[in-house]
Amino acid sequence: MMPGPLLTVNIKESLRRGFWAGPQLILGHALLEGALITGLALGLGGLLKAELSQGLISVFGGAFLFWMAWGMLRYKGQGDLSAGEREM
């Protein structure tokens, strides 16, 4: 297993909020995965294979990607990427 975005968020939030951020993130992720597995077990997989569902997911997914790109372009150059010392 390779580290992914959840590990990145876990590290960031643990530094910002302390120890309990990790268990909260794990619990939230487990609840989401549990709901997804339950939905798939109850037949959600068949619904997701429908052409209409795939089209809607594609359109909303593409719109979300454009929205994120717009946000990145809008704030380009305004971020602070310095690795200087900061108070904890």
- 14-49 per-position pLDDT tens digit: 999 999 998 999 899 999 999 999 999 999 888 888
Q: How confident is the model at residue 66 (pLDDT cuts 50, 70, 90)?
A: very high
Average pLDDT of the chain, as a whole number:
87
Coil, strand or helix: which one is 8? helix
> The whole model's pTM is what?
0.56
pLDDT > 80? residue 50: yes
Band (pLDDT 50/70/90 cuts) for residue 76 is confident
pLDDT of res. 81: 57
